[in-house]
Structure 1
């Protein structure tokens, strides 16, 4: 039967004939391969996995983090906007480059001295319609995922990021309201119920099957500090920069946006933010020596700081207990309206050289407090830093930066190089968070950036959250040991001893008075044993806001510190510090003060300790064999 040729059929026939003729003329037709629009990065099959996706419609990027098949961070926007280019949309993929980052380095402080790094890195290159280029660099390790933006020169200042982290709405969240000194308390919410506002970028979330701590690394004066902006009712936390415009005058690599993820022990023991940071810029680190410190501010305040005789007495106490350092806080040096620093002989009016000589003869080094405003110009730094080095001062506690603007990070870049040149260890107060700084500049022994012992509003909940938040990302100068502050601190005496271990700091500053130590000889004798540098760190038990028990090893001994929030209990702690028999000497709260217990346990056994309300404990464990009666030396 003949079928009538319709107009539609005729058009199709013509189209097919044309295609046949074209194929005959040019050879077999080739279909263009579809460019990939998703990429994955992981260090190993069981490790966290990053998935980067490019939306075909909008040209925008997103990043998802998963672990063991479970979503940790839901698809979250990735992008950056400059004066000349918008890299938050309209992108097309160019190419991918992969490499493995393997490093070994030795730290001067932190959770462990010897570090080994293995990360897989993927660099994805994109372009806008106008041809502007952006590289997104993603790194994956066993304990985290991180990304940064890399831009060539010529795109102008940065106006902001579209970077954000999308968490499940019902994920438990431990957040600290943002402050420029990073001294806010941590409170627990869910990701969605947290009030609208800005939070510190050290935010902890209980994600599916584990925990995730948001952080930042490798922040310098080329960029601006970040915080997290949140709107109640959502699980989204957006990166907001301290500056509305970040000045750039060349190629730019932004700081790493880091997600430390795993079980709670993995997160607590992580050195991921240090591992992401550049290698040490200090060639000779032999002069950098961590140690415990008698800190005099809460022991006597400004009056003690202005008295040479009082400081000599503190030096005597530190020497008697073999504490390597004594810190002289505010009040020891001139007021600007009293001394003329343009006079070349102004230093002769200070009693500090006499104190340093006195302390040196007794084997004690001196750390001095100084206000940032007295180091904020080249002229002031040229007066102070060489002078302190010449006197023999071992370190400086620099206070009141109170800014995360780009200009302040440019000052950090300068002061870090200059303190290293003058062999001065550094403890920053009123400061930013560590952000990997202790790897690149190992003379930074500690940083405050915490609601510490000085605060009168701390809670036991806050104290039990810090090991899982602030102290994860670097040494923390909480200044524990303020026994005399009864009624001003929320914890018991045994918990206060435990904090000296639970909280890591390269300069562990004890905040008590000699009288308060002597009234608690068990606490004092325990603190006499403590180092401030550790060969290993392990979480033995913990739940943010409820309990934290950490074990830190120095040589062949383990030091244990536990702190609890809530009602009295008998705490049980797995002694996972190695096989064999261990002598464990524990300090706890008794009816009439601190008491000490001794027992021999096998590795893996449970250590039972009676803990009072909002209490804690401290312990030393050493290998036991017949004849060993104490771990103390």
Structure 2
């Protein structure tokens, strides 16, 4: 991995008026200023302004500790250090083939005297052009362990901003986003809740990060609060106080009455505030990745972007089942599947998987996911049983060796699926054997799942023990040269820079939720995707799911809008989620899915507004082919696309996949048109997007 960096002197970066503050550190371009001060009574606080406008008013920092009580006052500054860092690093995969990491840093060392011992606590600030971040550092000291009851980081907003949010929940992010003023969060909270196998919403004023906001001024600013580098620490929510317009960090409890137990030395995750006067800057910033450590893997040659299909959507639609029999409430260790009567609806059969392999291989895909291949699916959902799956034993009608051999003979691989049913101890007991089985048969990617309440009982998906588990699974997978796509795990916070075998997560409401509003896909890139790629599973061509099951509803999208998602929602892991027979009926539109890459050298967000629309253009890695995608909410709109990102003087052929004039996400979702046009960097195209629709363009040089 190439890296170029420099530490520069602090001249002109920071000013200190006196011992204890205030201190000020600016972004490299000078537009963003962060102030730090230890105020009266020894209370550490910060504030921030952008282009002369205050964006975070005075906000206090600290903790509530089991042993030491409130660590929010009584501090004295013992030292401070300033520096500037500028590097360019090359990701293993990503939206860009190189990332600039340029910031100015302030480290403040503090001490508080207590009755028993001095407590040492540092605060580190990093200020980028597109935002700032801070974290707490507990240096090595006499106290070797701290038990955290609350983290009290505050973010004082300067007005009743418009926000796009999901409810605070210790177990799930599978919600649609609500657009409201900050003052309306509590009033809209109940309506924002949806059913889930495991959900633990905890306060009517609580929301999750990434939180997207827009100020209401004549020249609005776009703000986003998130966290980065979540390691060995609970996930952070935000609890809003309407009377003070202030968010306070709200951690996920560990099941034992505490939030976290840390051993010194220790650094918390970064608390991040992104800011810009352009919505597209929020989409393009790499600040979350930049706040994570460099890649720790010596060899990354085995990590590769992947386009895949799967035996999955037919279970989601009700066409088939994950399970093999109608048995339930049994002991997996003693149940004899060879004597069980199959119910005839099992999807992961040898013959059916071969059918998928043939189609995926014939159309240039890399892998095929197979869910429901292993024993245990009869007795898993919501059962809260420790031992449901062993992750190595296939059903009688799934020939694991023959199918892997068949896939390899066709030039593709099978993708493993590990559903844990929320039983962390059981997965950890079986993980080594499960990864070894993958190595034996040539799997190099796993989709892991954590559906249901977490075991041990009383634990949450986003608590400190579970955060440790998710990262441990990634590290152990790397030892086996396995890529991980974790579903129902904690939202990503940029750790894919450090562990690039983390190629995907779900951690949001994805395609399987069929009733979501069209605007959902115009918000996710501003929120969930800021921390890392999502396995959204796009590419649905048949929206009428009632054809499979009478209780299924119509999916509110258009074919052209589904194609656009491969560009607007970045991921190195992209699925063509629909059934092969539906693609066979629309092979002309399917061509875009076959062509579109999953790794890029350049990405440009051409125009966007959260909750309304996004238009993005990306250049394929290692070439000069470009792909453009646009999506809209439930409002039809025309957008203007300038091709100025193309290389001047080169002629290209563009293939446009657009909504037909009468297309509509509700009444005519399958209507699309395909046209070709010669374009150059001077071309400007006006494109219509239907309600809940979009467009996609492939652009290749004319040879």
Q: Is 1:457 aligned to residue 515 of structure 2?
A: yes
Can you list the C-alpha shifts for 1:164-218, whole angstroms capped at 9, x where unaligned? 2122333211111233221111111122222242211110111464312111111
Q: Could you list the per-position Cα deviations for residues 203-248 of structure 1 after superposition, in whole angstroms to 9, with x for gaps in the alignment?
A: 0111464312111111112x11111112445532211000233112
- Mapped to 1, the partners of 2:352 and 2:392 lie a distance apart of 25
Give the C-alpha shift of residue 294 in structure 1.
0.5
TM-score by length of 1: 0.88
- Give the alignment partner of residue 567 of structure 1, picking from 635, 638, 648: 635
Return closer, same or farther for 1:34/1:587 CA change in 2, 3 Å cut-off.
Answer: closer
Q: Does 1:258 align with 2:272?
A: yes
CA contact (8 A) 2:259 2:463 kept: no
Within the alignment, does 1:370 sit opposite 2:418 as a pair? yes
Cα separation, partners in 2 of 1:539 and 1:197, compared to 1, 3 Å: same
- Name the SS of the counterpart of 1:517 in structure 2: helix
User: What do residues 426-471 of structure 1 show as CA deviations (whole Å, max 9, x unaligned)?
Assistant: 1010121111111111111110011110002310121211122112
The partner residue of 1:308 within 350, 362, 367 is: 350
Quickly say closer, same or farther: Cα 1:532–1:125, change in 2 above 3 A: same
Matches within 5 A, 1:123-522: 123-130=107-114, 131-152=118-139, 153=141, 154=143, 156-179=146-169, 180-195=171-186, 196-207=204-215, 209-221=220-232, 223-232=233-242, 234-243=244-253, 244-262=258-276, 263-300=278-315, 301=320, 302=322, 303=345, 305-329=347-371, 331-335=372-376, 351-372=399-420, 373=422, 376-377=425-426, 378-400=428-450, 403-486=461-544, 488-522=554-588
Displacement after TM superposition at 1:570 (Å): 2.7
**Deviation at 1:525?**
0.5
Whichever structure has more helix as a proportion of its residues is 1
TM-superposition CA deviations, 1:349-370 (whole Å, max 9, x none): 6622221111111111211211
Please name the residue that 1:59 is paired with: 42
**TM-score, length-scaled by structure 2:** 0.79
Alpha-carbon separation, structure 1, partners of 2:89 and 2:247? 33
The residue aligned with 2:692 is: 614
Q: Give secondary structure in 1 for the equivalent of 2:497.
A: helix
> Shift in Å at residue 313 of structure 1?
0.8
Classify the secondary structure of the residue corresponding to 1:450: coil
Q: Once structures 1 and 2 are overlaid, which stretch shifts more, 315-324 or 533-542? A: 533-542
1:80 aligned to 2:63?
Answer: yes
Shift of 1:341: 11
* Contact 2:375 2:389 survives alignment (8 Å): no
Q: Look up the SS of the partner of 2:155 in the other structure.
A: strand
**Matched-pair contact (CA < 8 Å) for 1:306–1:332:** yes
> What is the CA-CA distance between 1:304 and the residue it aligns to?
5.6
Distance 2:436 2:574 in 1: 25
Is 1:75–1:166's contact at 8 Å kept on the other side of the alignment? yes
Q: Distance in 2 between matches of 1:450 and 1:342?
A: 24
SS at 1:71's partner residue? strand
CA contact (8 A) 1:492 1:615 kept: yes
Structure 1 equivalent of residue 333 of structure 2:
none
Q: Does 1:577 align with 2:564?
A: no
Counterparts of 2:37 and 2:438, CA distance in 1: 53
Give the conservation status (yes or no) of the 8 Å contact 2:31–2:52.
no
Name which of structure 1's ranges 296-305 and 191-200 shifts more when overlaid on structure 2. Answer: 296-305
Q: Which residue of 2 aligns with 1:534?
A: 600
Alpha-carbon contact 1:169-1:234 (below 8 Å) kept? no
Residue aligned with 1:412, SS: helix
Distance 1:127 1:342, change over 3 A: closer
Q: Distance in 1 between matches of 2:185 and 2:377?
A: 45
Task: State the 1:621 CA deviation.
Answer: 2.0
Retained in 1: the 8 A contact 2:611–2:633?
Answer: yes
Q: CA deviation at 1:269?
A: 0.8
Q: Is the 8 Å Cα contact of residues 540 and 576 (structure 1) preserved in structure 2?
A: no
Change over 3 Å in CA distance of 1:224–1:584 after alignment to 2 = same
Residues 33-83 of structure 1: per-residue CA shift (max 9 Å, x gap): 94242112223234422111221x232122222221122222222222323
Q: Is the 8 A contact 2:375 2:395 kept in 1?
A: no
| 1:104/1:117 contact within 8 Å kept | yes
Give the secondary-structure state (helix, strand or coil) at the position aligned to 1:247. strand
- Larger mean CA deviation between 254-263 and 486-495 belongs to 486-495
Given that 2:136 and 2:268 are in contact with CA atoms closer than 8 Å, whether structure 1 keeps it comes out as: yes
Structure 1 stretch 397-406 or stretch 133-142: which is displaced more? 397-406
Q: Aligned-residue CA RMSD in angstroms? A: 2.5
Q: CA deviation at 1:142?
A: 2.0
Cα contact 1:579–1:604 (8 A) shared by 2? no
Give the alignment partner of residue 77 of structure 2, picking from 90, 93, 106.
93
Tell me the distance in 1 between the aligned counterparts of 2:303 and 2:182: 41
Q: State the SS of the aligned residue for 1:286.
A: coil
Q: CA deviation at 1:297?
A: 0.8
Q: Which has the larger radius of gyration?
A: 1
Give the deviation of 1:91 after TM superposition. Answer: 1.4
8 A Cα contact 1:427 1:444, kept in partner: yes
In 1, distance between residues paired with 2:354 and 2:280? 43
Secondary structure in 1 matching 2:102? strand
Structure 1 residues 449 and 225 mapped into 2: Cα distance closer, same or farther (>3 Å)? same
| Distance in 1, Cα, partners of 2:41 & 2:515 | 48
- Greater mean alpha carbon deviation, residues 299-308 or residues 517-526: 299-308
- Per the TM alignment, residue 505 of structure 1 is displaced from its structure 2 partner at its CA by 1.4
Partner of 1:435, secondary structure, is coil
Whether the aligned pair in 2 keeps the contact of 1:157 and 1:248 (CA below 8 Å) is: yes
- Aligned residues between the structures: 589
Offset of residue 578 of structure 1: 3.6
Answer with 224-233 or 86-95: which moved more: 224-233
Structure 1: gaps spanning 5 or more residues? 1-32, 629-633
Asked if structure 2 preserves the Cα contact closer than 8 Å seen for 1:100 and 1:120, the reply is yes
